[in-house]
Amino acid sequence: MDLASVTRFRTAAARADLHLAEGERLLAGGTWLFSEPQPEVSGLVDLTSLGWAPWEPLPGGGLRVAATCTIAQLLQAPWPSPELPRACADALLMSFKIQHAATVGGNLCLALPAGAMIALAAALAGEAVVWTPDGGERREPVTTFVRGPGLTSLTGGEVLRGVDLPGWALRAATASGRAALTTYGRSAALVIGRRDPDAIALTITASVPRPVVLMLPPAPSERTVRATVAEAGAEVGWYADPHGAPDWRAAQTGRLAVEVCEALS
């Protein structure tokens, strides 16, 4: 939709252009920004003109995914096994047309509980790379970068540059499961398991307000899985919104966690 209050549009050509004036917002794909009224926004600063490579290899077989990498570009990255990124892209509410424009960074910064790129990055031990206003950089696990619904650790002047996914995580076996009120609707619970040498890392999103990663022993019993998930959910609180009642989400998360652990054991 038209953003009636926006009167300025800047195209960033260099890092210095990312210093925002009052009322300015960074624009990546724009698929969320243009989908809701933004009465507080008076200017847009286009990030995509910085020309960041959508993804770059990291030492050790890892990947750096730029914040401006679109979902469609992400799927073209050299994944050791493409199933998990495919499943996470499919878990997104929006159609393939939106995936041509929507970005990984946009999904992370929106910080929705159902943000499937958050889930993907958290499940693959992703680290957010954040440009700080002093010209420096800080790194933080995605699991703490996203703090709650609509809330990240970004402070004034900081910009999400990308997310680094380590090679060991990319090479790990993974499994995932998803619940939603409709088959292709917004996720109500998304559970991803990663098989590490001596553990299963279980990442829970959509049913909780922020990503939760649980470390379970290899081949855990169903009882252990359910108890661990229930305890973690109780601690952060099961998320409530029109996409599913909290008690149902808790049950679905437990069920999916058991299925995912079985698949990885």
Partner 1 sequence: MILDGVEVAGEPAPGQCLRTWIREQGVTAVKKGCDAGDCGACSVLLDGAPVHSCVTPAVRARGRAVTTAAGLGTPADLSPVQRRFAEAAAFQCGFCTPGWVVTATALAGDDGRVEVEEPERCFKGNLCRCTGYRSIRDALGGVANVEGLDAPEQGGFGRSVAAPAARRVVTGTEPFTLDLPDAGVLHVKLVRSDQAHARVTAIDVSAAEAIEGVVLVLTHRDAPDLLYSTARHESRLDDPDDTRLLDDVVRFRGQRVAAVVAESAAIAERAAALVQVSYEPLPAVFDPEEARSPGAPLLHGDKSPEQSRIAAPERNVVAHTHGEVGDVAAALDSAAYTVTGTWTTGRVTHASLETHGARAWVDDDGVLTVRTSTQVPFLVREELARLLSREPDSVRVVAARVGGGFGGKQELLVEDVVALAALRLAERGDRRPVQLELTREEQFTAVPWRHPMRVSVTLGADADGSLTAMAVDVLSDTGAYGNHAAGVMFHGVHESVAVYRCPHKRVDAEAVYTNNPPSGAFRGYGLGQLIFAIESAMDDLAREVGLSPYELRRRNAVVPGDEFVVNGPADTDLAFGSYGLDQCLDLVEQALDAGAAPPPGEGWRTGTGMALAMIATIPPRGHHSSARVTLEADGTATVEVGTAEFGNGTATVHTQIVAEALGLSPDRVRLVTSDTATSGYDSGAFGSTGSVVAGLAVHRAAEEVRRRLDEPQRPLSATGSSTGSPRSVAFNVHGVRVAVHPATGEVRILDSVQAVDAGVVINPEQLRGQVEGGVAQAIGSALQEEVVVVEGAVQTRTFRNYRLPQLGDVPPTRVLFADTYDTLGPRGAKSMSEAPYNPVAPAIANAVRDAVGRRPRELPMSRDRIWRLTRGES
Residues of this chain that interact with partner 1 (CB under 8 A) are 1-9, 27, 30-32, 34-37, 39, 41, 43-44, 46, 90, 93-98, 100-101, 179, 181-186, 241-245, 247-249, 251-252, 255
Calpha distance 190→176 (Å, rounded): 7
Token digits of residue 114: 């159902």
Closest approach of partner 1 to the CB of residue 144, in Å: 28
Q: Is the dihedral of CA 263, 198, 138, 239 positive or negative?
A: positive
Closest approach of partner 1 to the CB of residue 215, in Å: 26
Q: Which is nearer to partner 1, 89 or 142 (CB)?
A: 89
Could you tell me the end-to-end alpha-carbon distance of the chain, in angstroms, rounded to an integer? 48
Q: Which is nearer to partner 1, 73 or 152 (CB)?
A: 73
β-strand 199-205 against 212-216: which pairing, if any? Answer: antiparallel
Q: At what angle do helices 246-264 and 222-236 cross, to 10 degrees?
A: 140
Q: Which is nearer to partner 1, 51 or 136 (CB)?
A: 51
Closest approach of partner 1 to the CB of residue 101, in Å: 6
Closest approach of partner 1 to the CB of residue 76, in Å: 14
Q: Which is nearer to partner 1, 2 or 134 (CB)?
A: 2
Contact 149, 43 (CB under 8 A): no
